[in-house]
Amino acid sequence: MDEIIDVNQNKIKVAGIYEESDANGPGIRYVIFTQGCPHHCPGCHNPETHDFNGGGYYKDIDEIVAEIRKNPLLEGVTFSGGDPFMQAEKMGMLAEKLHKYGYNIMTYTGYTFEQLLTLSNDTNHFMDLLSRSDILVDGRFVEALKDEMNNEFKGSTNQRIIDVKVSLLLGMVKLKDIRAEEAEPTKFFKNKYVQEGFAS
């Protein structure tokens, strides 16, 4: 496995950022693409993020939080890549800070939920990020299983959208139906706006 990125100070190696997106999780989200991925899935949407030593730049965690808080429209933050678990300790720190301000965290990974539990240790800090993620999209991208029409927020049909908190509590994977939740009336935008089944 490629070496996990370990950076001095509270910085994350970022391949790119979308300041607003509705294609990388429910609602309007800030999306961070991390640099470095060991999976190298054929047909990957972001092959430029694979090289641990290529591209990207380092961005301070507190700077990221400050940028996110400036936008009142953001409902959550998505960690993509690359594979965010290659910087799990720092991404976990970022998730913890964002939770304090009410943002939900959605994390993409090429590992399965079960693999993350099995492989987690004090060196890779996988649990630091997994336990602070609200939603996990797990599994490698398989080009032969790509289905753009029916795979909202997933690259291929083998991947799962997982409710992390419930899954950790039960000790087994509990899938999350994001579409059903999006259709329900929910309060968001830190109680400044109310959604009644559609964008307001």
Q: Domain coordinates of the chain in residue numbers? A: 11-195
pLDDT score at 6: 52
Q: What Cα–Cα distance (Å) separates residue 63 from each residue in 86, 103, 105?
A: 20, 16, 17
Average pLDDT over residues 165-176: 96
Q: For 68-82, how does the pLDDT look when each residue is reduced to its tens digit (9 = 90+)?
A: 999 999 999 999 999
CATH number of 11-195: 3.20.20.70
Q: What Cα–Cα distance (Å) separates residue 190 from each residue in 25, 39, 80, 109?
A: 18, 37, 24, 28
Bigger pLDDT: 193 or 7?
A: 7
pLDDT band for position 196 (50/70/90)? Answer: very low
Peptide bond into 82 cis (omega under 30): yes
pLDDT score at 4: 53
The yes-or-no verdict on residue 200 having pLDDT over 50 is no
**To the nearest 10°, the Cα dihedral for 78, 81, 87, 91?**
-10
The pTM score is 0.86
Query: Do 198 and 184 meet the contact criterion of CB atoms below 8 Å apart?
Result: no
Residue 200 burial (10 A CB sphere; 0-12, 13-18, 19+): exposed
Q: How far apart are CA 56 and CA 52, in angstroms?
A: 9
- Tell me the torsion sign for CA atoms 75, 77, 80, 83: negative
Q: Reduced to 3 states, what is the DSSP secondary structure of residue 138?
A: strand
pLDDT above 70: percentage of residues in the chain: 86
Would you give the distance in Å from CA 193 to the centre of its chain? 25
**To the nearest 10°, the Cα dihedral for 45, 47, 103, 21?**
-40
